[in-house]
Amino acid sequence: MTYRLDLDDIQGMIVRAYGRYSYPFARYYFLNISDPAKGRAFVGQVADKVTTAARWPTESARPPCTVNIGFTFFGLYNLDLSQRTLRAMPEEFIAGMRHRAFVLGDRDQTMTENEARAERWDAHWDPIWRGNRLGDGYEPDNIHVWISFNAQQKARGVAEPVDELEEMATWLRRLCDESGGGVKILGGHGRDGAMDHQAASAVFKAINGVLVPTPTEHFGYTDGIGDPVFAGQYAPEEERTMVIGRGKRLGAGWVPIAPGEFILGHPDESQELPPTAPPAKFMRNGSFMAYRKLHEKVGSFTEVIRTEGARFARVRGVSQEEAEATLCAKMCGRWTDGIPLASAPDFESWMRLREELGLNVEDKMQAFLNHLAYLKSPASSDFRYADDMPGYKTPTGAHLRRVNTRDYLDPLNVTGVDDKGDPHPNEKATTQLNKRRRILRRGLPYGPAFGTEMTDDTEQGVALMVVSASLFRQFEFVQQQWIQYGLDFNQGNDTCPMLGNHEVHKRFSIPSDPRSGKAPYIMSGLKTFVECRGGDYFFIPSLSALRMIAMGVVDPT
């Protein structure tokens, strides 16, 4: 039986990735509340415009601009929620991202807290985040509220948002003005801190003279392909296709993940209701979100790939182009166009599959449409790791294998190879140890237009929002154990080759099938390619909870 969610009560960004195609523009605002009564009145006015997860009956029914809202712990505190409710919130949410920097690998883990503070470990963060989470939460530069607007494209072929985006920004500023200082928008985004919001946009590219939003981030990878699918997220006829490779593997098929892994008040994969603060209705249909501004050091990434590519080309006797493409794919787990290594483990098979998919046809627009069709198809996500335990196809330390382990950690998997040199198969391998670590990824890239020269100092990266029912069990576990360590992947202290910190550990191992006659290849000069520029943890309430906050009736008794 299909699981039914109260989509009218759930904020839309939890269930739906607004995405690069339908809503390629976004603005993220961060606000401070100094007057609880005016803050509650503000929440009531915003709640009337919040976009829910209700399904749009037709394409034309989509709103031109979406609205969503969330609160930090001190945001709820400054809205005068009861002590009993606040004390029952999860510890990591109360502490906030700044105070979890040691756990997340955002600061030097060899230093004590005092040493790191003296070294100003957050000096590279945007000004708005450097001033956040200092003091007791009442300070005027503490972040209390997150508001996001996602906007459609003004017209096909134009890299501009609809006018409604600016209209919504004007509306928000007016609400704050009318609060008489009780609620204010905080500035301080970017290196110079000049902006009052964080702008984000899909990377647009000119194809046959037409500007189109692409699914590409600034390193050049196709992104946002394999987000998990949970019960109740899609209509039944759509779910049957979407769940393939994106749900949990049972037997020979795929089924949706339990909704409680992402939405509070619903059963999770342990068949329990996730812990919530009283009253129960306050957190039901809500979720938690980690907002992280991830700066991409494109200059360093390009340099390392070029340098390592020259060595790889010399050692393997291939062209520089093939060497660089192969290293990029092995680091990620997918080729830059999103084709998984599990489907095309080497350059030759990748080229062949691109031909079969029509990605190299002469008409560039048709090739682009063929590419989008592939990314949306089950083929882009329906693959396994249990049949590749040595990592001959997808290296065991690759980014993709770390953040979504699929069936790799099934305890019945057998490492090594059989007498013929083949990896031991385990057709019945499941995703039992992975399904409780899944996260929903939302957000968009930020930075200059496609084709602009980018260095480490250029403002570019991803405004990432990670949604999960438990920040600790899901987001923080993946960030700490799978991205910043390598023990679960037999990689020792080697971190994720793309997102990991490489100040100390700079290696990435690429296994090779001995039957090929090629030795394993070790990349040894990795740099830290992705740097957090700030962020915090937010609670994303249901529409019911927003109204409870606005009316001041969050009663835990």
How large is the angle between the packed helices 36-47 and 543-551, nearest 10 degrees? 150
pLDDT at 185 (0 to 100): 98
Q: What tokens appear for 147 in the block?
A: 């508001």
> How many Cα atoms occupy the beta-carbon half-sphere of 383 within 13 Å?
23
pLDDT at 129 (0 to 100): 97
Q: Which of 235, 246, 126 is nearest to 186 (CA)?
A: 126
Q: Which of 283, 284, 320 is nearest to 305 (CA)?
A: 320
294: which strand partners? 462, 532
What is d(CA 239, CA 245) in angstroms, rounded to the nearest whole number?
A: 12
DSSP summary character for residue 340: B
pLDDT at 20 (0 to 100): 62
pLDDT at 230 (0 to 100): 97
Q: What tokens appear for 506 in the block?
A: 């700079």
What is d(CA 557, CA 88) in angstroms, rounded to the nearest whole number?
A: 13
pLDDT at 449 (0 to 100): 81
Contacts 24+ apart (CB under 8 A), 375-379: 375/215, 375/222, 375/225, 375/338, 378/241, 378/244, 378/245, 379/343
pLDDT at 77 (0 to 100): 96
Strands (E) across 232-344 are located at: 248-250, 253-255, 287-296
pLDDT at 420 (0 to 100): 92
> Which residues fall within 8 angstroms of residue 361, CB to CB, at 6 or more apart?
367, 370
Q: Which phi and psi (to 5°) does residue 140 adopt? A: -70, -15
Strands (E) across 310-460 are located at: 440-446
pLDDT at 47 (0 to 100): 97
> Which residues fall within 8 angstroms of residue 515, CB to CB, at 6 or more apart?
421
CA distances from 112 to 101, 107, 124, 505, 535 (A): 12, 10, 19, 20, 21
pLDDT at 251 (0 to 100): 77
Q: Which of 264, 246, 301, 279 is nearest to 434 (CA)?
A: 246
Read off the pTM.
0.96
pLDDT at 122 (0 to 100): 95
Q: Which phi and psi (to 5°) does residue 193 adopt? A: 65, 25
Q: Which phi and psi (to 5°) does residue 184 adopt? A: -140, 150
pLDDT at 450 (0 to 100): 76
Give per-10-residue mean pLDDT for the chain (557 aa). Answer: 92 90 93 97 98 92 96 97 96 96 90 90 96 88 97 94 98 97 96 94 94 94 94 94 93 92 97 92 97 98 98 97 98 98 98 98 97 96 95 97 95 92 90 93 91 90 97 97 93 95 94 94 97 98 98 90
**Whether the Cβ atoms of residue 327 and residue 305 lie closer than 8 Å to each other:** yes
How large is the angle between the packed helices 364-376 and 347-357, nearest 10 degrees? 100
pLDDT at 409 (0 to 100): 94
What is d(CA 478, CA 405) in angstroms, rounded to the nearest whole number?
A: 10
pLDDT at 76 (0 to 100): 97
What is d(CA 470, CA 14) in angstroms, rounded to the nearest whole number?
A: 14
Q: What is the SS3 assignment for 449-514?
A: CCCCCCCCCCCCEEEEEEEECCHHHHHHHHHHHHHCCCHHHCCCCCCCCCCCCCCCCCCEEECCCH
**Whether the Cβ atoms of residue 400 and residue 223 lie closer than 8 Å to each other:** no
65: which strand partners? 151
pLDDT at 1 (0 to 100): 66
Cα 377 versus chain centre, distance: 20
Q: With the C-alpha atoms ordered 379, 26, 72, 120, is the resulting torsion angle positive or negative?
A: positive
**Whether the Cβ atoms of residue 226 and residue 404 lie closer than 8 Å to each other:** yes
